[in-house]
Amino acid sequence: MKYILLMSGTKPGAATYHAWTPNDREAHMGALRAITTELIESGEFVATQGLEGPGEAKVVRGEKNGLPVTDGIFPESKEFLLGYWIVDVTAPERAYAIAGRISAAPGPGGIPTNMPIEVRRFADSKPISRDEP
Amino acid sequence: MKYILMMNGTKADFNSYGRWSQKDLEANVAFMRAFSRELKDSGVFVSTEGLGWPDQARMVRAAAAGTPVTDGVFAESKEFLAGYWIVDVENAEQAYKIAARASMAPGPGGTPGNMPIEVRQVMSSFADLGI
């Protein structure tokens, strides 16, 4: 069963991260990298990706005169995806356990961020992937 | 440059999709399949996935004892990721054009859905975080 673990935050939340000391950021990313390495070793790893900050985010709705209609204004409360992990596990509990570990990654001063991680299963329909003939 | 194109919706949006006629659903799915195929043929396709419905969604936080704390209660206004495409393109404008096409996927009665598609650049490495 494939699950996606989504890490999201508001613009002010994402901005806070950049105010962390380099040491705190290094410790945080080090913990996340260690989780990824463990997932690769256990064979549960599918993919992980970080997204660029929300500053450049756009919403596109249809076309006008052949051009995409873009909008870059979002409500303050809007939750932006910051990054994700895709894991292939045998039970949802295992996906929750991995998400718990990500949430426990250290923040400023080494204290766990306790960031909420949204856990979602992929739809049952066969995913279309690059590997498909 | 890699971009992620995300479809989001509230629980109410998901529920209204569930009430579409079989014919409308099939037309929408056929569009999405053809769209992915076109992205592959043009060499910009990286991946696409659809997510399960929000009623299975759980929010997980770390707990002191190492046991994850899960919660399945969300605000009505919460936007859930419904699915995404990752494309590898030359610039943001190309990503917006692709998003506009996805936005025009047919909805009920074959009318373009005009669904909002969030477009975000994907980081090439952790170096982008300034580490």
Q: Which chain A residues are within 8 Å of B130, Cβ to Cβ?
A: 18, 22, 25
Q: Measured between alpha carbons, how far is residue A128 from residues A75, A132, B49 in Å?
A: 33, 7, 7
Element (H, E) at B96: helix B92-103
The helix/strand/coil state of A29 is helix
Closest to A103 (Cβ–Cβ): which among B62, B77, B118? B62
Six-digit token pair at A53? 């900050």
- CA-based nearest residue in chain B for residue A131: B47
Residue B130 within any structural domain of the chain:
no
Q: Which chain A residues are within 8 Å of B43, Cβ to Cβ?
A: none
Closest to B61 (Cβ–Cβ): which among A56, A80, A103? A103
* Whole-prediction pTM: 0.90
Residue B76 within any structural domain of the chain:
yes
User: Whole-angstrom Cα distance, residue A39 to residue A37?
Assistant: 5
Task: Give me the pLDDT at residue A133, please.
Answer: 34
Residue B42 within any structural domain of the chain:
yes
Answer whether B117 sits within 8 Å of A54, measured CB to CB.
no
Residue B131 within any structural domain of the chain:
no
Task: Give me the pLDDT at residue B125, please.
Answer: 59
CATH number at residue B52: 3.30.70.1060
Six-digit token pair at B58? 């759980």
Q: Which of B:5-24 have CB within 8 Å of A?
A: 5-6
* Contact call for residues A43 and B88 (beta carbons, < 8 A): no
Task: Give me the pLDDT at residue A132, please.
Answer: 38
Whether A103 and chain B come into contact, CB under 8 Å, resolves to yes
Q: Measured between alpha carbons, how far is residue A87 from residues A39, A44, A46, B85 in Å?
A: 8, 5, 5, 18
Domain boundaries defined on chain A: 2-121
What residue spans of chain A are helical by DSSP H? 11-18, 22-42, 92-103
Compute the Cα dihedral for A4, B12, B14, A1 and give only its sign.
Answer: positive
User: Whole-angstrom Cα distance, residue B45 to residue A132?
Assistant: 12
Q: Could you list the pLDDT tens digit for every one of the 131 residues in chain B? A: 999 999 999 999 999 988 999 999 999 999 999 999 999 999 999 999 999 999 999 999 997 776 899 999 999 999 999 999 999 999 999 999 999 999 999 999 999 989 999 999 998 755 444 44
User: Whole-angstrom Cα distance, residue A25 to residue A106?
Assistant: 9
Residue B104 within any structural domain of the chain:
yes
Which tens digits make up the pLDDT trace of A15-50? 888 899 999 999 999 999 999 999 999 999 999 999
Whether A19 and chain B come into contact, CB under 8 Å, resolves to no
Residue B72 within any structural domain of the chain:
yes
Q: Hey, what's the torsion of the CAs at B73, B64, A30, A37, to 10 degrees?
A: -80
Q: How many CB atoms lie within 10 A of CB B29?
A: 13
Structural domain count of chain B: 1
Which tens digits make up the pLDDT trace of A79-124? 999 999 999 999 999 999 999 999 999 999 999 999 999 999 999 6
Whether A100 and chain B come into contact, CB under 8 Å, resolves to yes
For domain A2-121, the CATH architecture is: 2-Layer Sandwich (3.30)
